[in-house]
Amino acid sequence: MKSKPSSKLIGLVAKIQKQVENTNSTYAENFVSNLITHPIPFFGKLEEAEILTVGLNPSPREFDNARWPDSKIAPELLASELYKYFENDYRLWHPWFEKWAAATSQLETNLQYKSGRVAHIDLSPRATQVMSRVPEVETFAKMIREDLVWLPALIECAKSAKILLIAGAVNREKYLIEFLAKHGREYQIAVVRKDDGTSRSLGFYELRVGSRSLPVFFSGSSPSARDKGEKLTRNISTHREKIFKLLADSTTRPAGTTGN
């Protein structure tokens, strides 16, 4: 696998950096005081990964203990550091990803971030206080909603992705998949339920954006849950056969052509 991002992905990172810098003041009340952060649109080999795990936004703990520079990072360097995030010996990955790794390994032992076959994206690239403790809940939801503008471009860059594994909630009212289904339409993102629809907290969907149509497995329980990701791992293990079939069968198709 190649070890560096394309010029297209670097250009996208530059655009996101500029937009975040210009709008951060709108959401400042939910940031951690005196913590210098950087926008993180993705983690891992986005352009090569077969699986994308999808979460809410980066943890503020990602920036603890001088893990990242205090000064602005050039887009080429930021994109490169994020691309090789799971390979760096001098900056250990955030332990949150270990919980996702335990879950994806239920599908196949080598389906790991470190192998480059799995990468991660968030609905927002901004690190705030953790969702359950943000002082301004409505402002947080607004941030997530408006940062969805970048999701189509990230999916477009993830040209090898065959399936999305989405987990968690945006707030106490909406799961990530529900929030994405409601607000993604503003950015030409469509979410279609592909099972019997009996459970809000678990299910199979299809994400349609631009020319891409990708299968989705959703778990309401995420690595951030109090059980430290155990239920997420069980959910993926329980549905392993169907998820693995989707992974094996999925190819990039025009929107709306993914099978049930």
Residue 251: predicted pLDDT: 52
- Retrieve residue 75's tokens: 């887009």
Beta pairing partners, 208:
190, 213
Please write the tens of the pLDDT for every residue from 162-199: 999 999 999 989 999 999 999 999 999 999 999 998 99
| E strands present in 48-128 | 51-55, 118-122
Residue 2: predicted pLDDT: 56
**Poorest-pLDDT segment among 90-94, 146-150, 237-241:** 90-94
What is the spatial distance between Cα 125 and Cα 122, in angstroms, rounded to a whole number? 6
Choose between 135 and 258: higher pLDDT.
135
CATH topology of domain 22-249: Uracil-DNA Glycosylase, subunit E (3.40.470)
- Residue where the block lists tokens 């891409």: 212
Q: What is the mean pLDDT of the chain?
A: 93
Helix (H, G, I), strand (E, B), or coil: what is residue 154? Answer: helix
Please write the tens of the pLDDT for every residue from 95-153: 999 999 999 999 999 999 999 999 999 999 999 999 999 999 999 999 999 999 999 99
Question: Has residue 227 got a pLDDT over 90?
Answer: yes
What is the mean predicted confidence (pLDDT) over 229-246? 95
Burial of 45: CB neighbours in 10 Å, binned 0-12, 13-18, 19+ = buried
Please write the tens of the pLDDT for every residue from 40-83: 999 999 999 999 999 999 999 999 888 899 999 999 999 999 99
Question: Has residue 258 got a pLDDT over 60?
Answer: no
What is the spatial distance between Cα 29 and Cα 112, in angstroms, rounded to a whole number? 35
Contacts of 161 (CB under 8 A, 6+ apart): 49, 50, 51, 52, 155, 214
